[in-house]
């Protein structure tokens, strides 16, 4: 095959990406050289991206040279490409996806770990992405989001110059450029908190449609699983008729043979986004199903019951109230401390403290423990993480998803040979402890007990959310499900109770506020 010419933008990241593809081609015996091409997005730096005319402002000039025959390949960040290709061009291959998470880089004197995302109240955050702005404001409405343009090093320099308190950039770009971020506090924003742009982290190799020989060659560096995943994301974007400036996030990943897909969509960059999560065996027809859920004329439940208190500024409350859904929030259990003074013995030689619930965090710190600096914290989920943050502590391990067995096994691998303290409820199921290796020492500390309320009133809500096995037990002592009522179970242990009862339920991705909102949004009301 002839020596190929690869067209690329001239930024550090674009050059890294083009050289990455060049090296991949060299490995399969194909020689190539680079040609740098300036795009509209590179030339106009004083306007927000959504103010630039048309679509493809980082890709159009490369595509024109490709059609004109002056280059053979154009390498793009896949998320920059319009969903409709110019006639005569095609995406011949995509690379395996880099981590699509976002990074929040924070000036160290602007850090406040007691707040979500570790940002001080009212912090100024730089990003020109409408998608990021809408989702960040949903989590932290107090933030001031300001426009930020430029390539990755330029953006980081603007933070260094203190033009902002923090900036948001894609983790993939930082990983590829191997940038030293030690001068900043770095917060990784999980894809379940801020849903990435469609195809974020993947590279697209674009060629002329009639270049069949090159197409066949490029199949040797094509990653089909990534292509399948980003295919559904970009189809969702296409069906919404959106471009890169639409406040839309869509992320698909394959996990244990199934596809997990998150979607976040807002009308504007200041609108509270709607969220949706699917776990499916096949991607066939999924994009159409996702888009249909965001239809303006769909019906929502008029009332949702949840078996715990929901604060005024809670994400879940805001997500439901946006659609005028009434919330019946009341815990069906009460908790009481069973330890009032903490024996220093429990803290001797402890390496880790693991909290399986918000209550365990709150009751433990009410005992005013004296902790050594080297102690690390593990939590079962984001609810416990938030409670820990409010007390000024960051979790070193946060269980992801609602599968407590998976959370337990991952934590067990981290603490082999260590000493772990477990402040817990007296009737705890001990799921984490049972997964630990024999060489890990357990310090057991029951600190509170749970008592079930009597004479629990029935709810007329169409959707019932149960947050623990004890709440399930309390409700069904005197009540039955009414026809048409649907159940959401938080976590595997709660779900297991419904399995034993023979009751159908929905299991959110994780036992946190965003996942609960996703579960309610996904329910069909006839």
Nearest C-alpha neighbor of 421 from the set 493, 353, 349: 353
When computed from its CA atoms, the radius of gyration of the chain, rounded to whole angstroms, is: 25
What are residue 155's phi and psi, to 5 degrees? -65, -45
Q: In 240-314, which ranges are continuous DSSP H helix?
A: 286-293
Neighbouring C-beta atoms of residue 384, cutoff 10 Å: 26
Neighbouring C-beta atoms of residue 20, cutoff 10 Å: 14
Q: Is 38 exposed, middle or buried (0-12, 13-18, 19+ CB in 10 A)?
A: exposed
Q: In whole angstroms, give the CA distance from residue 354 to residue 395.
A: 9
Q: In whole angstroms, give the CA distance from residue 315 to residue 238.
A: 28
Nearest C-alpha neighbor of 79 from the set 271, 272, 295, 233: 233
User: Is residue 226 within 8 Å of 251, Cβ to Cβ?
Assistant: no
Nearest C-alpha neighbor of 208 from the set 506, 24, 7: 7
Partnered with residue 115 across adjacent β-strands are: none
Nearest C-alpha neighbor of 301 from the set 102, 520, 74: 520
DSSP states along 28-91? TT--EEEEE---HHHH--SS-GGGSSSS-TTTHHHHHHHHHTS-SEEEEEGGGS-SSPPTTEEE
The contacts of residue 499 (CB under 8 Å, 6+ apart) are: none
User: Is residue 200 within 8 Å of 176, Cβ to Cβ?
Assistant: no
Active site residues: 80
- In what side-by-side order are the strands of the sheet with 274-280? 248-255, 258-265, 274-280
DSSP states along 173-218? HHHHHT---TTEEEEEE-TTTSPPPTTTT-EEEEEETT-HHHHHHH
SS3 state at 15 = helix
């Amino acid at each position: 095959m002839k020596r190929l010419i690869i067209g690329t933008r001239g930024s550090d990241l674009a050059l890294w990406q083009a050289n990455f593809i060049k090296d991949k081609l060299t490995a399969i015996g194909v020689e190539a050289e680079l040609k740098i091409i300036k795009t509209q997005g590179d030339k106009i730096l004083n306007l927000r991206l959504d103010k630039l005319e048309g679509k493809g402002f980082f890709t159009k000039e490369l595509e024109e040279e490709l059609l004109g025959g002056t280059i053979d390949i154009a390498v793009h960040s896949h998320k920059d490409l319009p969903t409709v290709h110019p006639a005569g061009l095609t995406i011949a291959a995509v690379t395996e996806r880099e981590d699509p998470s976002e990074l929040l880089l924070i000036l160290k004197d602007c850090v406040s770990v007691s707040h979500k995302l570790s940002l001080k109240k009212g912090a100024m955050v730089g990003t020109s992405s409408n998608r990021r702005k809408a989702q960040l404001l949903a989590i932290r409405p107090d933030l001031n989001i300001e426009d930020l343009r430029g390539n990755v090093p330029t953006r980081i320099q603007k933070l260094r110059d203190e033009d902002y308190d923090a900036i948001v950039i894609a983790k993939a770009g930082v990983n590829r450029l191997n940038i030293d971020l030690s001068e900043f506090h770095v917060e990784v924003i999980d894809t379940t908190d801020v849903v990435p742009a469609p195809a974020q982290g993947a590279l697209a190799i674009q060629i002329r449609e009639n270049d069949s020989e090159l197409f066949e060659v490029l199949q040797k560096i094509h990653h089909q699983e990534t292509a399948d995943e980003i295919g559904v994301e970009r189809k969702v974007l296409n069906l919404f008729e959106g471009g890169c400036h639409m406040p839309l996030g869509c992320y698909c990943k394959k996990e244990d043979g199934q596809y997990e897909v998150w979607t976040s969509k807002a009308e504007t960059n200041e609108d509270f986004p709607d969220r949706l999560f699917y776990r499916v065996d096949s991607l066939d027809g999924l994009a159409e199903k996702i888009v249909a859920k965001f239809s303006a004329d769909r019906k929502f439940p008029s009332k949702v019951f949840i078996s715990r208190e929901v604060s005024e500024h809670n994400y879940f409350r805001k997500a439901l109230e946006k659609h005028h859904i009434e919330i019946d929030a009341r815990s069906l259990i009460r908790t009481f401390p069973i330890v009032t003074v903490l024996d220093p013995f429990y803290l001797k030689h402890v390496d880790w403290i693991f909290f399986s619930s918000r209550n365990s965090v709150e009751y433990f710190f009410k005992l005013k423990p004296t902790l050594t600096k080297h102690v690390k914290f593990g939590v079962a989920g984001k609810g416990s993480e938030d409670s820990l943050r409010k007390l000024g502590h960051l979790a070193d391990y946060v269980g992801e998803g609602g599968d407590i067995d998976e959370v337990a096994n991952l934590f067990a691998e981290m603490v082999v040979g260590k000493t772990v303290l477990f402040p817990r409820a007296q009737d705890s199921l001990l799921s984490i402890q049972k997964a630990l290796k024999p060489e890990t020492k357990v310090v057991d500390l029951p600190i509170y007990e749970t008592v079930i309320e009597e004479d629990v009133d029935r709810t007329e809500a169409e959707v019932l959310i149960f947050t623990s096995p004890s709440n399930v037990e309390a409700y069904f002592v005197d009540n039955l499900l009414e026809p048409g009522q649907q159940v959401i179970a938080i976590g595997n242990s709660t779900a297991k109770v419904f399995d034993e009862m023979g009751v159908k339920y929905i299991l959110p991705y994780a036992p946190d506020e965003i996942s609960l909102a996703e579960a309610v949004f996904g329910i069909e009301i006839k």
